[in-house]
Amino acid sequence: MTFFNKILGKSPKKELKARCPITKEPIEKGYGYLLTTSQVITSKRYWDMVMTEPETLSYTISHFNNQPNGTQMRSLIFEKYSSIDKPWMISDSCINLFEVNKQEARERAKQWWITEGHFTPEETGSALDQLDPGTYQSLKDYAVLEAGRSRIPVH
């Protein structure tokens, strides 16, 4: 059949897939929770986890040992995640990191699946565009200056 599709110029419809950006686990069609970047970066538990993952742990240790390069890298990590302008499809295993209305987030995910990934909540966009400057700065201060402190042995 694919031979004929190629001859006729038809390509099979690509199946929509979702993967949790935190755990990288696949999310089955119709499941998951759809969050905005602002909802994600508001979570202190999320930042504590991000800043103590194996890939970021050395920056966190450096930061808490007063080494400027660690603090600078943590700032770049915050800016990377807070600037994401698409909604996040979060898995069941990660939703408890966030203080959100789970029912609403589940309904938004269902809308996302129904619309083949085209649904975006009204508040979608980078956190800098969606949050007031004071809120954004206080979230950045926590993520960059405090996140992971309780998990790091400081010398």
The lowest-confidence range among 2-6, 85-89, 97-101 is: 2-6
Band (pLDDT 50/70/90 cuts) for residue 14 is confident
Decide if pLDDT at 64 tops 80. Answer: yes
Element spanning 138, H or E: helix 133-141
What is the pTM for the complete model shown? 0.87
Decide if pLDDT at 45 tops 80. Answer: yes
Band (pLDDT 50/70/90 cuts) for residue 134 is very high
